[in-house]
Amino acid sequence: MLRASAACEAAGIPTASLVCEGFVKQFAATSVGLGVPNIPHALMPGHPSAQSEEERRRNILETTVEQVISNLTRAPAAANAQAEPAARDIFFVGGFQAVNRHFYEHGLNDGLPIVPPTRLAVEAFLRFTDRDPDQVLGVILPDSRAATIWSIAVNGVMAGCRPEYMPILVALVEAMVDHEYGVEHSGNTGGGETLILLNGPIVKQLGFNYTQGALRDGFLPNTSVGRFWRLYLRNVAGFLLHQSDKATYGDTWRVVLAENEDVISRIGWEPASVESGFAAGDNTVTIARYLSGITLASVSGTEPAKMLPYLADALAKQASWKLTFTVGPHGGTLRPRLVLSPIIAETIAKAGWSKLDVKRFLFEHARIPAFEFERMLRDWTDRPTWNLAEEVQRERLPKLFHESDDPGRLVPVFWKPEDILIAVAGDPLRTNAYAFASNGAVGFPVGKRIELPREWDRLLGESAQA
């Protein structure tokens, strides 16, 4: 809605954007990013959803209406734009402690020490890409900054990455600026965090961990590349806490999850990158935002029929209010991610099941009663769209969501088996799985191929000797 107000104001049409009290700082920060820092707003005191009708009416009449009238009848005050330093300007000069204190005070780190991005360190990263340092990969909201190769190298240095990780970092930012991913939602109330999935020979070439502790910090490649993602969101996109990042709680950034393609190849399954449209053996990154995740310990059983119901139950239960991404304007965008430990995948494959067989089973069994589906949408999410029969009749839902009028009939939480994404990683001798709850269209899965420089092998050899 704020983008609509910005367009109107730029065209000379007065606006009055209604802003809840808890979002005033986000409104101000986002307005700057949209290039119209003086967009007028009218305050909605408190949180309307937690107020009685009487309270809401009183707040609107006593506060909001007066400000709306003022916004529509008076010209907004002139805004002072603050200039930012150019890409190669020296931002600060000082020792390690002084640099880190300065960066922290200016909101340019994540609360942890960063590696000072000196010109020499940045240039070492640029050797690992054939792209021009000033190439713009896209413009990122909310601050509408250009995502450049140079800024990628700068933040890669700060995150503690090694120069040879640069091709991965470039692919990640290409995914970040992809419209389908929806980076502008990175600071939304739910506070979901992005999972980065890595595939291809580059996993072993750069020493990424994909076995025990696959999602634990402590391995330099996995940890530093994961940290880079969050630093880039802060420093370039502009998602700052108490400003444009409005996560109620928020997750901590995640380390990179690298798939165990040795196991994948041995059992005859395709790697997760194939789900994103790439060929097996391609170096790729896949990103998606998830609101939560749950570890499924001791997925016991000697055959698929004994193991998979446990996983299906977890997928169904994690849907909860996220069913809003099954119906409505974002219908059909739920993409949950299951990560299976190698021994689970091997046990299932030994029975002759393909990855698609697994998805079909999960789709048929990750179901809830229709009345429960509708109750969650109607009573818990206040959705105007909640009647499954009407949605099917309007052809906004697949027919299988209304095969009868029985309120107790079981209905799926996803549109089709292929919506369930599966990867294999983790301790090879533990029967555990990890289920990530999809954030639907708000952080939709996007994959990108990693582009290696022409002299990759030589540069990698030189880096190993440095």
* CA atoms of 441 and 13, how far apart (whole Å): 31
Q: What is the mean pLDDT of the chain?
A: 89
Q: Is residue 176 part of a domain?
A: no
- pLDDT tens digits for range 33-47: 566 666 777 766 776
Q: Is residue 33 part of a domain?
A: yes
Q: Is residue 351 part of a domain?
A: no
Q: Is residue 280 part of a domain?
A: no
Q: Is residue 145 part of a domain?
A: no
For tokens 């809401």, the residue is 56
Q: Is residue 38 part of a domain?
A: yes
The CA-atom distances, in angstroms, between 406 and each of 204, 323, 366 are 53, 20, 18
Q: Which two tokens stand for residue 290?
A: 């998830």
* CA atoms of 297 and 204, how far apart (whole Å): 27
Q: Which two tokens stand for residue 17?
A: 């954007």
Q: What is the rounded average pLDDT of the residues 85-103?
A: 90
Answer for the pair 107, 240: CB distance below 8 angstroms, yes or no. Answer: yes
Residues 6+ apart with CB under 8 A from 396: 327, 331
- pLDDT tens digits for range 244-272: 888 889 888 899 999 999 999 999 999 99
First and final C-alpha spacing in the chain: 52
What stretches of 189-303 show up as alpha helix (H) in DSSP? Answer: 202-205, 220-232, 261-267
What pLDDT score was predicted for residue 149? 98
Residue 158 amino acid letter: M
**Which range of residues forms the domain containing residue 41?**
2-73
* CA atoms of 249 and 189, how far apart (whole Å): 8
Q: What percent of the chain has pLDDT over 70?
A: 86
In terms of Cα–Cα distance, which of 13, 72, 12, 10 is closest to 42?
72
Domain count, the chain: 1
Q: Is residue 61 part of a domain?
A: yes
Q: What percent of the chain has pLDDT over 90?
A: 69
pTM over 0.85: yes
Answer for the pair 276, 447: CB distance below 8 angstroms, yes or no. Answer: yes
- pLDDT tens digits for range 201-212: 999 999 999 999
C-alpha torsion angle, residues 348, 352, 356, 360 (rounded to 10): -80
Q: Is residue 205 part of a domain?
A: no
Under the banding of pLDDT at 50, 70 and 90, the label for residue 6 is low
